[in-house]
């Protein structure tokens, strides 16, 4: 048996399947009308879904379905579209589907596809594209530092909003459109002593 998926890629596949939306998409990939409760990943990239938690019984009585890696990847891709919004959903729908077709079907680069799916899940779908914001009070107003991932490279954006409205633009996950952040005073209240 040709080993197409290493232990690291298997671990990323399991992390992806720990998300309820992704896991449900994969479990729905079996036969219509049957309920699947367990998932097992083989070294060749095949994902086996079983009707019971006991693999011996699943195999013995034939209550399991083997999903080729390509079908698994497309189920994850479909779930990622549901987990994202706006231009990110469009980027995943149009761009990632082509990558899955080329890399998984034609050149069998399964580990590459697993890493791409995980990267999209981690940075696009869950908005985990950088470290948490750090706010501090400076001499002239509030200051915020934010690290953002752009084209796979971290970019640090420093903002000093001293009462003036600021707009920042940087590329989104497609690299074409821009995300705009507007900074300024949102609400003002005057209190008398």
Q: Along the 193 residues of the chain, how does pLDDT read in single tens digits?
A: 355 788 889 999 999 998 999 999 998 888 888 888 888 999 999 999 998 888 888 888 888 999 999 999 999 999 999 888 888 888 888 888 888 888 877 888 899 999 999 988 888 775 443 333 333 344 444 444 455 555 556 555 555 555 555 555 555 555 555 555 555 555 556 666 5
Q: Which of 39, 42, 29, 15 is nearest to 110 (CA)?
A: 42
Q: What is the pLDDT of residues 54-78, one digit of tens each?
A: 888 888 888 899 999 999 999 999 9
143-171 burial code (b ≥16 CB/10 A, e <16): bbebebbbeeeeeeeebebeeeeeeeeee
What's the DSSP call for residue 132? Answer: P
Give the separation between CA 129 and CA 12, rounded to whole angstroms. 17
**What's the pLDDT at 125?**
77
29 neighbors 71 (Cβ within 8 angstroms): yes
pTM over 0.85, yes/no = no
SS3 160: strand
149 neighbors 172 (Cβ within 8 angstroms): no
Q: What is the pLDDT of residues 104-118, one digit of tens each?
A: 778 888 999 999 999
């Amino acid at each position: 048996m040709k080993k197409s998926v290493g232990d690291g890629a298997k671990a990323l596949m399991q992390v992806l399947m720990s998300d309820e939306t992704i896991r449900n998409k994969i479990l729905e990939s079996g036969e219509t009308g049957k309920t699947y409760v367990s998932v097992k990943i083989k070294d060749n990239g095949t994902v086996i879904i079983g009707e019971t938690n006991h693999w011996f019984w699943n195999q013995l009585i034939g209550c399991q379905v083997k999903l080729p890696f390509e079908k698994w990847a497309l189920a994850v891709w479909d779930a990622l579209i549901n987990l994202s919004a706006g231009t990110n959903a469009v980027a995943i729908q149009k761009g990632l589907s082509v990558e899955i077709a080329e890399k998984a079907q034609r050149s069998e680069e399964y580990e590459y596809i697993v890493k791409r799916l995980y990267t999209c899940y981690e940075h696009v779908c869950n908005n985990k594209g950088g470290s948490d914001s750090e706010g501090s009070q400076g001499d002239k107003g509030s200051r915020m530092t934010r690290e953002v991932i752009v084209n796979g490279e971290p970019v640090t954006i420093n903002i000093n909003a001293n009462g003036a409205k600021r707009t920042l633009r940087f590329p989104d996950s497609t690299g074409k459109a821009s995300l705009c952040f507007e900074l300024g005073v949102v609400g003002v209240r005057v209190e008398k002593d």
